[in-house]
Amino acid sequence: MTREVLTHRHGPVGHISLSRPKALHSLTRPMCLAMSEKLLEWHDDAGIEAVIIDHAEGRGFCAGGDVALVRRSALEDGGETGRAFFHAEYRLNHLLFTYPKPVLAFMDGVTMGGGVGLALPAKYRIATENTLFAMPEGAIGLFPDVGAGWYLPRLPGQVGKFLALTGARLDGSECLWAGLATHYLPGSSLAEAKARIIAEPGDTDRILADLSEEAPKPRLAGNKERIDRLFAGDTLEEIQAALSADPSDWAAKELKAVRSKCPASAKVALRQFAGSASRADFAEEMELEYRIASRMIMRPDFAEGVRAVLVDKDGSPEWNPASAEGVTETILEAIFAPLPLGDRWEPIPT
């Protein structure tokens, strides 16, 4: 068991705490394997009634996955280590989604990428004044994964598409408004919430209701009409054209955000979201995302995006193709094509 994941049993409640504070608890493969192992141990344990997932210390709940490691893999071992990470991470995501006992995710702090994959399958998703939620994969040449192709299209209106294409950061009140969080608690109440739930896990709904407070007015709600109107297009070109034609400062700001992201990432996300409703179950979603991830990490855009954001930190990636028009159907077909039978992702048997 890695020291970067702390696990405890408090009577009827299992407790998993991420403990990699210097990296904002970003996930590694050993962390994903450790969490899956413990969840499987508790899966059929009649004495475990609920599971809490939080972080041990620091600002983040979980800032994502260790993309620097995945980049090194793409450059040095043909992506083998990177694919192994995504395989383990997506198995964990699926295990949480199908878990037979209620899971509580305390999204107290940075909740991005891999952290979203831990939080959104949970029955109870608790946001606070410290929550900072985003799916910023377009900035590094990846795509909204960890089940985002299932969750984001199911948000109100075009909010999911907006989050995927802009990488917008939401606070706790916006997460509650959008349905990403189920409860909004002050950070000062979290210790009490956990203690009371551990004492009476069967009363979780009442305990969270008692400790919840009215969230501040969500800024995102004020832009809902614009989001639904300007992000309604089916293609990246249509959305960029709609934003360009709108005279508001808001549209100009969001157009700049969309254009700064990897065009291939954006088109992959739109195609991924378009097929979401037709996928039979969450396992099918994760199988698709694994094949996309296997291809995306080997594209030059990924190494370039991570370089610009995390290595050189110049914030000036050179995408290839550099425009929406350059990302052809041929490119997308290759990214979405099925993997050979022996290389495909499968969930953990339970």
Active-site residue, from 64, 82, 114, 117: 114
- Residue 157 falls in which region: left (phi positive, over 0), alpha (psi -120 to 50) or beta: left
The two beta strands, 132-134 and 170-171, are: antiparallel
> Residue 58 — pLDDT band, cuts 50, 70, 90?
confident
Region 75-103 average pLDDT = 98
- What is the tens place of the pLDDT at every residue in 321-348? 999 999 999 999 999 999 999 999 999 9
Is 246 a catalytic site residue?
Answer: no
Tokens of 138: 């377009």
> Residue 277 — pLDDT band, cuts 50, 70, 90?
confident
Domains delineated in the chain = 5-343 (3.90.226.10)
What is the Cα–Cα distance from 203 to 43, expressed in whole angstroms? 20
Is 249 a catalytic site residue?
Answer: no
What is the Cα–Cα distance from 9 to 318, expressed in whole angstroms? 48
Give me the pLDDT at residue 272, please.
Answer: 96
Active-site residue, from 4, 54, 137, 285: 137
- Residue 336 falls in which region: left (phi positive, over 0), alpha (psi -120 to 50) or beta: alpha
Q: Is the confidence at residue 1, as pLDDT, over 70?
A: no
| Phi, psi for 98 (deg, rounded to 5) | -100, 10
Q: What percentage of the chain carries pLDDT values higher than 70?
A: 100
Give me the pLDDT at residue 57, please.
Answer: 86
Q: Is the confidence at residue 35, as pLDDT, over 70?
A: yes
Tokens of 206: 């009442």
pTM over the 0.85 mark: yes
Tokens of 83: 């694919």
Is 57 a catalytic site residue?
Answer: no
Is 60 a catalytic site residue?
Answer: no
Active-site residue, from 60, 65, 109, 113: 65
Region 166-183 average pLDDT = 98
Q: Is the confidence at residue 259, as pLDDT, over 70?
A: yes
What is the Cα–Cα distance from 300 to 173, expressed in whole angstroms? 37
Using only C-alpha atoms, the chain has a radius of gyration, in whole angstroms, of: 20
- What is the tens place of the pLDDT at every residue in 120-170? 999 999 999 999 999 999 999 999 999 999 999 999 999 999 999 999 999
Active-site residue, from 4, 108, 145, 287: 145
Return the higher-pLDDT residue of 208 and 350.
208
Q: Is the confidence at residue 39, as pLDDT, over 80?
A: yes
